[in-house]
Amino acid sequence: MSVSFSSTSLPFSESSFAFQRHPRLCSNPLTVASNNFHSVTCGGRLALNVGGTSLCRRFRGFKLWVLERLNFQFQSPKQPKNRIRIENNLENSGLSNEKGPVSDSSSILHAPDGMVTSMEYPSLLQTGLSATPMDVSGKPSLCISVIGATGELAKSKIFPALFALYYSGFLPENVGIFGYSRKDITDEDLRSIIASTLTCRVDHQENCADKLDAFLRRTYHINGGCDNKYGMSMLNARMEQIEGGSKTNRIFYLSVPQEAVLDVTACLSSSAQTQKGWNRIIFEKPFGFDALSSYRMTQYLLSNFEEKQIYRIDHLLGRNLIENLTVLRFSNLVFEPLWSRTYIDNLQVILSEDLTKHLGRYFSGYGIIRDIVHSHILQTIALLAMEPPVSLDGEDIRNEKVKVLRSIRKLEPKDVILGQYRASGGAKVDTCLNGLTPTYFAAALYIDNARWDGVPFFIKTGLGLIKHQMEIRIQFRNVPGNVYRECMGHNMDRAVNELILRDVPDEAILVRVNNKVPGLGLQLDSSELNLLYKDKYNMEVPDSYEQLLLDVIDGDNHLFMRSDELEAAWNILTPILNEIDKENISVELYEMGGRGPVGAYYLWAKHGVRWVED
């Protein structure tokens, strides 16, 4: 038997053509209708009745399914978890050529037996194929290059994340890993450098040594020397040698200092991009020093790459807490109707570090506003406050995020508290910091739109504090005309309902409710309904770099800042940065290992919000 697509026939056995139900995915369903799917006795071929619409447009999804079935013999025995939408499958398989998501709403398969069946197509990962199609000849279908391969970030985070993805089956077996640096070392030297940092999953360690050996064998080093243009040509030549002329996609991770980014990207753009697949480039924060430098960098990047190729990475946005925000909001009826100024009194985004290592030259020059607030904090607020997107496509989510950022009022000094920690040995400021570099930032933001008018969004983030904490607190308004007011005592603030999304310590979702204490009499207590992840889910949580690298491979860009988001974020913070430069805003000193500046307590009180310690 064979199936005909226009003038193309694909032969296969009848036993392989079996419709199966698959778990529901995020992609649009392909509906199987009845009574219009029939066999035509014409040389054993099976004809599909699809009406007069474009056959190519209607059956792109079905073609993909057939291609997967034909290649099923090459699948890995491990079945990675499903996480890729159909549009990304098409993109990575070369069918879409990165022209955007494919709509399959009109794709209908007509089935026999008079049955109407709703069916979802499996993703490439679900059927055992990696996100990038494998070439059974051993030539890589995906190459990943780490620029700055011998740096600390590459050794401690990037290579371990790549190996974790490879070990778990999210990278193709024949992937090519390339390290680029200025050091005169061999492939074996690089493998020795990174081998000690690579570990297998605690929850499944089968074939660990074999996987590690296979990964290292596919890792290569290129000495770029002092001339990046020549070095990138050498990188391209080595990649082409390994690729062997096959169609291969490339990812470039720039783990380099900010001052080197423009030169590296220019040389990369002209000398190292493939012409046989897509190219994507990853940048580390910060994305400029101020609005002007960021604008110039953006324009330079866009002169060498398209926006869809650029991924501005912030590892804090790869935390499960951030990934879960839109799921909680838009898939639970209990939350979404309450998500507005009508029921919510305030929202708090808290990120504190206990500072277990030296900050270094980078932080000394940029400070906490440029390093954490500009990207992580404002992106978290955008995800919390945005309107429902029209789809889960990355561009649709980014469109809603940028609307929120543009609606945030520019910060004023009266709504901001800055702090800098003291060295632990005395009153002198830590020598790694320059001048007024803030290590603590607290502020009250307001979003001027219909949903959030008048609701304060509080930010509290700092280094050298009493503990490491990362959480979001949504506090609801008091119950109007509460008949139990007299039973709650004088402190009504402690009786408000609260939704707490905690990442550190102990990832959890907590809901604070008022409850009657068992026993005689009427005594109320504020209790927590607790979903503690470590008790519910017996699994190792992937590192945030793994999540974000996998998003880049899949082409999912919703957690990466677009150029217009970048500009909107700078517009919010520029007034405060200008005041700091003019020394018109004071920086309060606080003790290392303490709770931060006292002024933050007064800021909360000024807006009528209770400070929460834990």
Is residue 406 within 8 Å of residue 572, measured between CB atoms? no
Closest of 174, 187, 164, 191 to residue 132, by C-alpha: 174
Judge whether 283 and 310 are in contact, CB under 8 Å.
yes
Q: From edge to edge, which strands make up the β-sheet containing 45-46?
A: 8-11, 2-5, 45-46
Handedness of CA 452, 453, 458, 459 (dihedral sign): positive
DSSP per residue, 68-82: HHHTGGG--SS-PPP
**DSSP symbol at 373:** I
- Active-site residue among 315, 374, 376, 558? 376
Provide the token pair at 176: 């090519």
Tell me if residue 110 is catalytic.
Answer: no
Q: Are 534 and 540 in contact (CB under 8 A)?
A: no
DSSP 300-353: HHHHHS-GGGEEEE-GGGGSHHHHTHHHHHHS-TTTGGG-STTTEEEEEEEEE-
HEC secondary structure over 177-224: EEEEECCCCCHHHHHHHHHCCCCCCCCCCCCHHHHHHHHHHCEEEEEC
Tokens 């056995």 belong to residue: 13
Q: Which residues contact 104 (CB under 8 A, 6 or more apart)?
A: 27, 28, 30, 60, 61, 86
200: phi then psi, degrees, rounded to nearest 5: -90, 165
Which tokens sit at 533?
A: 């992840």
Q: Are 336 and 330 in contact (CB under 8 A)?
A: yes
Residue 139 sits at φ, ψ, to 5 deg, of: -75, 140
How far is Cα 185 from Cα 449, in angstroms, rounded to an integer?
56
Element (H, E) at 496: none
List the catalytic residues: 376
